[in-house]
Amino acid sequence: MAPRGRATLGAEASEGAEVLARWSDGAPFLVRRPLGRGVVLFMTLPLSTEESDVALRPAFLSLLDGFVGAARARGGARRLAAGETWTFDGYRDVKVERVRVDRAEGPAGREALPVVEVERRLRVSPPLAGLYELTLDGERSTRVVSVPEREIDLRPRRVAESARAAELGGMSASIDGSPYVALLLLALLAAELLLRALGGRREAAELRAG
């Protein structure tokens, strides 16, 4: 990716920021900086297609998906997918409890989840789907964790033709011709034995006649 239109960060903008990606020369490309109870993500390339082609790159969609996932994990959504990590920036006292309502799991009650600090950020990883109650600096709220639809939708889907390419590990159906080759070899062997037998009889008859 060409650095055309690349911006530079001043000392104030980069203070306390975390560089997530860099250019080949070491300059910041993607930077994350905490701001209050949230976080600011910014790139050093403009998103306008007239100034840069970064928005036209296939990886840009993955980057946007990461931004959306980060926003959901930081409280932007009440329903999250199982396995996602919740991040609580700016909170000092965080308590997360899973509310048990299913009799099969035992008596109804609450199960506290461990809160870990990673890179000065409090994080919680809910392992199971269900209802969770959060207490953030004394304020209570609830969130629902569900199984992602992509993991429970088992309907067959048509595979794109491009995914069948040999360079991607795709394989095309082929017919095993080894049984036919074996039958042909057996037929040739039988014909050879028959010709040898006929030739031996003819030689014996000629010797008797002579």
Residues 6 or more apart whose CB falls under 8 angstroms from that of 39 comprise 32, 33, 70, 74, 89
How many percent of the chain have pLDDT more than 70? 75
Write the class of the CATH domain 78-151: mainly beta
1-58 tens-digit pLDDT: 666 667 777 766 667 777 888 888 778 888 887 776 667 777 887 777 777 777 788 8
User: Please, are residues 40 and 46 in contact by the beta-carbon 8 Å criterion?
Assistant: no
Whole-model pTM?
0.43
Higher pLDDT, 115 or 92: 115
69-79 tens-digit pLDDT: 667 666 556 77
Give the per-residue pLDDT at 18.
Answer: 78
